[in-house]
Structures are given as C-alpha cells and as structure tokens.
Amino acid sequence: MCWMAAACLCLLLAGCGKGSVKDVIPKKKLEGNSLYVKKVENLPEDFICGMDASSVLAEEASGVVYRNYAGEEQDVFQTLAEAGVNTIRVRVWNDPFDAEGNGFGGGNCNIDTAVEIGKRATGFGMSLLVDFHYSDFWADPNKQMCPRAWEGMAIEEKTEAAYQYTKECLEKLKKAGVKVRMVQVGNETNGALAGETKWFDIQYIMQAGAKATREVFPKALVAVHFANPETAGRYMDYAKKLDYYQVDYDVFASSYYPFWHGTLENLGNVLSEVAQTYGKKTLIVETSYAYTGEDTDFSGNTIGDGSAVVKNYPYTVQGQANSVRDVFDVAANHAKDCLGVVYWEGTWISVGGSSWEENSALWEKYGSGWASSYAAAYDPDDAGKYYGGSAVDNQAMFDAEGKPLESLQVFNLIRYGNEVPVKADALEDTYLEVDLNGTIAMPEKVNAVMNDGSKQEVPVTWKVTDAELQKMYEGGPAKYEIAGEAEGMQARCYLSMVEYNFLENPGFEDGGSEGWFVEDRGGADQIYAEEKGTDSLSGTWHMHFWSAKPGTVDFNLMQLVRDLPAGDYRFEISIMGGDAGETEIYPFVMLGGEMIRGDLMEITWYNDWHTGGVAKFTVPEGELVTVGLHVKCAGEGNGAWGKIDDAKLNSVSE
Ligand code: CA
C-alpha cells in the first residue's frame, strides 16, 4: 500500500526511528523572508503552531515531491518544522477502503497512515494531534456517518467498540514512539457523531474516546471539536450539553474558515465564553486561506477566483500570511485559555499532472484527491458522485511544484515580527456606473491592499483609448471590463453604461432626502432617509417609514423635475416592508395639472422588493414634472413599515 512506500522513504530521508529525533524547530527568528508579519504579542513558548498534513503520504505516493526553499527535495516534515510548526494534526478514519481494498481518497487516512505521519513528525521534534472522525470517511457538520463495522449496533455496544478501537489505535501510536499531544474525539461534531444524532448517545462515544486516551496517553489532552462559531448560541449550547453529561474533555476546539465562519472577534468571544463558564481550554483547530485565486489541479476549490468572498485579505501569499497571523492574534490575545492554531492541509497540493484525466488516475489509485469513485461504496450520494482532486490546493502553503511559500514561515515570524517596508500587495477592482448622457471619468487612483493589511490609494494607468470610450457611449446600456496598471500590478475597472436618470438623489445615496419632498398626510411616527445597506435595494441608503398607530401611514414621496427636455419618459420606484395591513400604494406622475397613476403595488415581507412605475408619458417642452409614490397602509402588528429605494426617471427612445 502507498504508505509502506512512503514509510521506507521516511526512514531513508530522516532516520526517524526511536531515539533519533532531529529537533529542527528554530529557536530564533528566520531571516530573509520578504513578507510583512506583524508580531503577535503574548505568544506562549509552547503555543500550538499546528499543521494538518493528513494527505502527505498519498501525495508522495502520487509522485508529489516536496522541496525546501532552495528548491531541493526535502522531507516535508523537516520543512514544516524548520518553518516553526511544532504540531502535526492527522485525521483517522476507521476503514476508508472498499471490499477490494480500494481507498476512498482524502489521503486514505486510517491509523496506519497516522502512525507513519506521527513517526516522521516525531522524528523532527514535532508532536501529533490525532483527529478521530469515528467514521469510514469525511465527518463534518453535514455528515457523521457510522463506521460500517459499527452499523446496527445498540449504543452500549457501539460505545464499547469506540473504546476498543480508540485504544488499539493509540497503542499503535505509542508502540511506534509517536509523541501524542492531543486526541480529538470526533471531528466537527455539530450535533451528530458516528451516526448518532442525540446528545444522550453522542456523549457516550466521546466518553469512550476520552477514556481510551486517558489510559494510553495520560498526559495527552482530550479535545472535542465543533464548527460554525458564527451561529449565535451554538457553542454555549454544546458546552452546556457536554457539562450536563459530564463528558471528560480538556479542550473545546473550533474550526475557523474566515470566508464562512463570521468575524474573528466573534470567534474569540464564543470560545472565551465556553472557557470562562466551564473552565476548559480552547483551540482553533482548523483554519486556512488562499494564496492564489487560481486552481492548479483541475479540480475546483472551495474559494478562489469567481467566489463571492469579501476579500479582507487578497488571494496572495501575503494575504494568506496576514489571515493566519490574525487568527493567531485572536488565539493568543482574545480567545481565553486558547492553546494555539492549526492550519488545515497546507501540504495538499496538485499531484502535478497536466490534465484532469492524468490527475484523476492518481487520485483514484493513491487516494490523493478529496474522494475517489470507490467512496461510492460508503457515501454514494456525495463522495461517490462528486469525487475529484484537492479543493484546497490554492490554500496550501506549498506551490504546485512542492516548494514552500514564504507564508509557511509565518509560524516562526509571528513570534518576532517581520516589519518589512510597506508596499502594495494587491489592487481592489474599481466599479464605475456612468449614464449615457454623462462622462466616463476613469479614476486616477485605485485602492491597493498593502502588505501590512492597510489600504491606500495608488495611481493607475488605464489601457483604453478615447475612441474606445466613445464607442462605449454609443453602445447603449452595457457592461465593460477595462484593464489598467498600478504599482506593477494589473488593475481592473468594471464599467456599467446605464440610461440617464433625470432624478436628483434617486437612491438617497446623497445621505438624506435632498431633492425629495414628503407630504405626510397621516402623521406617521417615522419617515426619513436611512443608512443601512442590508435594508437598501442598492447602495447603503433608502427612505424609511414606520408608524405604530393604525392608519397613520399615509404619505406622498415626491420630486419636482425642472428643465426636462421634451420627449417620452418612464418612471420607476421600488418598495418593500411588512405589517402593512390593507394598502393603497401606487407610483404617479403629475404633468400639466393631470395625474397619471401607475398600477397598484404591494408590500409583502422583508427584503421582498416590488418595483412599479409609469411606463411611458410624453413631456412637452418647458413642462414641470412631478414624480412620486403614494403610500397608504392600514397597518397591523407593531405598525406598518417599509423601505423605498432606487427611483428612476429615464428617457424612452425608440
Ligand atoms: Ca483544486
């Protein structure tokens, strides 16, 4: 099997038998790194600087060659230790193989791979964090499938099986001389474990794992592990249940993926609350970030180019380093009694083929992709269908050729800081909306994210000619992408040519009701322009109304437009809200003493925007025009409320 070959390689390269520990973890600052790293204060000496490297053996079997900074082949565990990693995490599945011995993938990680990885890690002075999934394949918030060998067992029998299994596994590690620092009883066990979905049963499996750990490695810590710290109340709910059932554990561990799991501040808060209330240690046991938006192995990634992620950190090596550094900062200085941070699968790179077919053959044979087709024997609906390569190759800390990225040394540099000169690291895209009667004024500066994480404006040159801009005017409403250059990097401007809006402050983005007049006929409690992005149809401002007393929402929101060129026009406006009761809402246009009403509009519920308008009307030369929205609501519940946004007065040409 693949790990046998890897084990031999290990012995050759590292000589990692018992008693030949080569401690290469640096005790001083690594020099020559070009990344900006702000020092993390108050880092304890033994703070966990961890790396989950579960797929390394399958990667090596697939032909991946890991290198050092000089580009020479070197044991990846040596490279990790030399960068300041002191703990290796490895997942353990009970039996990730089908009846014919074909691996399910994801590193085909069972206790044998854990032993080999543990030996190599120990050989370079690092300790092991053993992550039992208690499943035959991936366990996470979406699935916690029962190992096939435990299928159909009553909870008492399953508990005994979990205890025996954990004990046997840990004894193998002990016999191999592996330094085990912590044992996780379950992986991201959000309300399920080993097929059990009631806490009354889940806790027995956790207890069984804890008991075996205490017996085999009395000095190791027992950890429980959950995900989704962003859900309010979730962690305290779990901690309370663990306490109620008196589950024997030391560490309450959390995953933290910045693109899914809320703010770092919230993470620190929810972990602190558990530590404070129940006297437990905490740990950020999984985190990662992309160093590039590009995929390198022909198998899609969890984040990257095209993903709708708010990029507080650009997808660069520096952005990755900054993200990890900030997670460490929260661990050391905000989350109470936090033992450290473990990066997830920083070694899971492309197996290096030049096509999907070539890679797929390796993933199938050696289990180096996230899942192989053989996983259908256990998980036919997900892994068995969507099997493929690495979804995190762009979040590794090694490039596609196996050479470590500078960001890997963040594990060392956070202890000392590496405050190199501040310079631009990435450019933010520019968005420009220009109406057809306006002028395309290409911005002279764009926002840059600097290597220290700050933002600055930098001068930009756009690669567009006047003739090309002229064509964009003549092309009607359309979208364009214009390339540019700033600080030696490529800049991008997304230009939308839109029809001319003859209204002033049409979406209230001037920061008030400038240009508008409210005729309040019912005496509503509140009618004003409000800044709240989540309640706006576009931008961050809108017109807000609310009134507690029934029947008091009765107003006209209007704008008088002078000097409108003669021609045909269209008026449009949008509204959403709730608790409206019976309503009479319509858009209108007043023209030459006549009122033209649009169709009646309705208010339904939050965020359900309705757009109405007056489709076409003719304005003679010199005529004053008033456009507006009539809103009358009987109100119910706590009183009618609503939001009005994005008024448009466009000329209609045909
Ligand atoms: Ca990929």
Across 14-23, 276-285, 562-571, least confident range: 14-23
pLDDT at 301 over 70: yes
Cα(32) to centroid of ligand 1, in Å? 30
pLDDT at 6 over 70: no
pLDDT of residue 23: 87
Cα(322) to centroid of ligand 1, in Å? 22
pLDDT bin (cut points 50, 70, 90) of residue 439 is confident
Q: Percent of the chain scored above 90 by pLDDT?
A: 88
Across 3-17, 25-39, 326-340, 619-633, least confident range: 3-17
Phi, psi of 603 (to 5 degrees): -110, 130
pTM of the model as a whole: 0.79
Across 50-64, 202-216, 463-477, least confident range: 463-477
pLDDT at 648 over 80: yes
Q: Is 537 helix (H, G, I), strand (E, B) or coil?
A: coil
Q: Is 618 helix (H, G, I), strand (E, B) or coil?
A: strand
Cα(630) to centroid of ligand 1, in Å? 53
pLDDT of residue 498: 87
Distances, alpha carbon 314 to alpha carbons 157, 181, 487, in Å: 50, 34, 15
Q: For 207-254, how does the pLDDT look when each residue is reduced to its tens digit (9 = 90+)?
A: 999 999 999 999 999 999 999 999 999 999 999 999 999 999 999 999
Residues 6+ apart with CB under 8 A from 265: 330, 334
Average pLDDT value over all residues in the chain? 94
Which pair of structure tokens corresponds to residue 154?
Answer: 């009553």
pLDDT at 441 over 90: no
Cα(352) to centroid of ligand 1, in Å? 11
pLDDT at 613 over 70: yes
pLDDT at 256 over 90: yes
pLDDT of residue 16: 45
pLDDT of residue 183: 98
pLDDT of residue 620: 94
User: Where on the phi/psi map is residue 279: left (φ > 0), alpha (ψ -120 to 50), or beta?
Assistant: left
Cα(613) to centroid of ligand 1, in Å? 47
Q: How many CB atoms lie within 10 A of CB 26?
A: 15
Q: Classify residue 453 by burial, with Cβ atoms within 10 Å: 0-12, 13-18, 19+.
A: buried
pLDDT bin (cut points 50, 70, 90) of residue 654 is low
Cα(394) to centroid of ligand 1, in Å? 7
pLDDT of residue 14: 44
Q: Which residues are catalytic?
A: 188, 286
pLDDT bin (cut points 50, 70, 90) of residue 100 is very high
Cα(301) to centroid of ligand 1, in Å? 5
pLDDT bin (cut points 50, 70, 90) of residue 588 is very high
Q: State which amino acid sits at residue 632.
A: K
pLDDT of residue 308: 52
**Roughly how many angstroms between the first and final C-alpha of the chain, as a whole number?**
72
pLDDT of residue 214: 98
Cα(311) to centroid of ligand 1, in Å? 20
pLDDT of residue 539: 85
Chain centroid offset of residue 49 CA = 21
Q: How far apart are CA 602 and CA 284, in angstroms?
A: 48
Considering all CA atoms of the chain, what is the largest pairwise distance in Å, rounded to the nearest integer? 98
75, 338 contact by CB (below 8 A): no
What radius of gyration, in Å, describes the C-alpha atoms of the chain?
A: 30
Cα(369) to centroid of ligand 1, in Å? 9
Q: Percent of the chain scored above 70 by pLDDT?
A: 96
When pLDDT is averaged across residues 55-78 and rounded to a whole number, the result is 98
When pLDDT is averaged across residues 607-630 and rounded to a whole number, the result is 95
106, 96 contact by CB (below 8 A): yes
Cα(367) to centroid of ligand 1, in Å? 14
Q: For 383-425, how does the pLDDT look when each residue is reduced to its tens digit (9 = 90+)?
A: 999 999 999 999 999 999 999 999 999 999 999 999 999 999 9
pLDDT bin (cut points 50, 70, 90) of residue 593 is confident
Cα(340) to centroid of ligand 1, in Å? 28
349, 298 contact by CB (below 8 A): no
Cα(241) to centroid of ligand 1, in Å? 38
pLDDT bin (cut points 50, 70, 90) of residue 434 is confident
Cα(391) to centroid of ligand 1, in Å? 4
Q: Which residues of 131-149 are buried (b: 16+ CB within 10 A; e: fewer)?
A: bbbbbbbbbeeebbbbbee
Cα(302) to centroid of ligand 1, in Å? 8
173, 225 contact by CB (below 8 A): no
